[in-house]
Amino acid sequence: MEELADSELSDITGQAFINLTTDANAGINYTRVNFGVNVDTQLNMKKLQLGQYDDSVTRAGEVAGSSDILINNFALGTVNADGSVNPFRIADPFVELAYSGNKVVGVRIGFGEAKGVLSGDIQSLTGNIPVHITGTAKPIIDKASGFDQFLLALAGISDSTRLQADATLVNSSGNADPVRGGMAGLTNGTALSCVSGCNLGGLSDALLSLFKSSGCGILSLNTCFPLSDFKSLPVGNISNMNTMEGAAKGFFISFQTQDLAWEDMDQNAFMTALKGAFMNMPKYRDANGNLVSPINIDFEQAFNGIPRQDTCLGTATAGC
């Protein structure tokens, strides 16, 4: 290697592959190492287990020996029958440390953008993971009792009506459960709303709002579902995997010794991660400025689960 003169250096422009940024908030200092790269990966892991400890203060009431995050047969990306790979795509990954004085109180691994299929047998999750459910009302009508079908018809809901609802981590009572949650569903007080095809227009929405989820049910319908039912989940808009358009933003997994605020990479705000291990897949702004959920499924998938896509080369579909 030969030293460059100042005149030669002045002719060179470019962007660093790795850069370092610092920040501070509420007495906590942050140092983030940003990697300006795009990564396409297909990986399998027998078990993703983080935050297995019994703390009667932090995790009061949780099952002894449980974990903040536990996903068996975890995988990113999928494999086709011909052996070709559908990668999980990542842009601008980073690693960040949080300090209180000279003590490290948190670390997180995150992605500026991410899209693809995440698979696994999910046992428990701790974090912020909003899910948007949208689709035709036919699966709802098919599951409803005869009387509930009558009520839906009165509200102007037919098979082709498109409905929507927001879901998150819940317990079996329908309360939000961001700590070691084993179910996803509609929180108490959440109602379905109309997207299109409601025969009574705005009146349909008004009538639907009268039937709110309570105790994991709306009328005769279940509104909470075991996480283990969802074997493969779409992260971001995966309809076009050739570009990063529609990728989820702000996805990270963190570890902290106290409740800790991490910067939300998309909204320029802060997300408070709970002490322990924490997964954050927040809502983000799409190209049109709309706030969207990182995971989107339909009602058929909500009621019946999502089978695992193949993530292994060879005969095995999981656990490789």
130, 136, 137, 142: CA torsion to nearest 10:
-110
- Does this model's pTM top 0.85? My answer is yes
- What lies within 8 Å, CB to CB, of 2 at 6+ separation is none
Nearest Cα to 223, choosing from 212, 239, 237, 238? 212
| Rounded-to-integer distance, Cα 222 and Cα 174, Å | 10
- Give yes or no for a contact between 297 and 235, defined as CB atoms under 8 angstroms apart: no
How do the pLDDT tens digits run along the chain, 320 residues long? Answer: 677 777 776 676 666 678 999 999 999 999 999 999 999 999 999 999 999 987 777 777 788 889 999 999 999 999 999 999 999 999 999 999 999 999 999 999 999 999 999 999 999 999 999 999 999 999 999 999 999 999 999 999 999 999 999 999 999 999 999 999 999 999 999 999 999 998 887 788 898 998 999 999 998 999 999 999 999 999 999 999 999 999 999 999 999 999 999 998 766 789 999 999 999 999 998 888 889 999 999 999 999 999 999 999 888 888 78
**Phi, psi for residue 7 in degrees, rounded to 5:** -65, -35
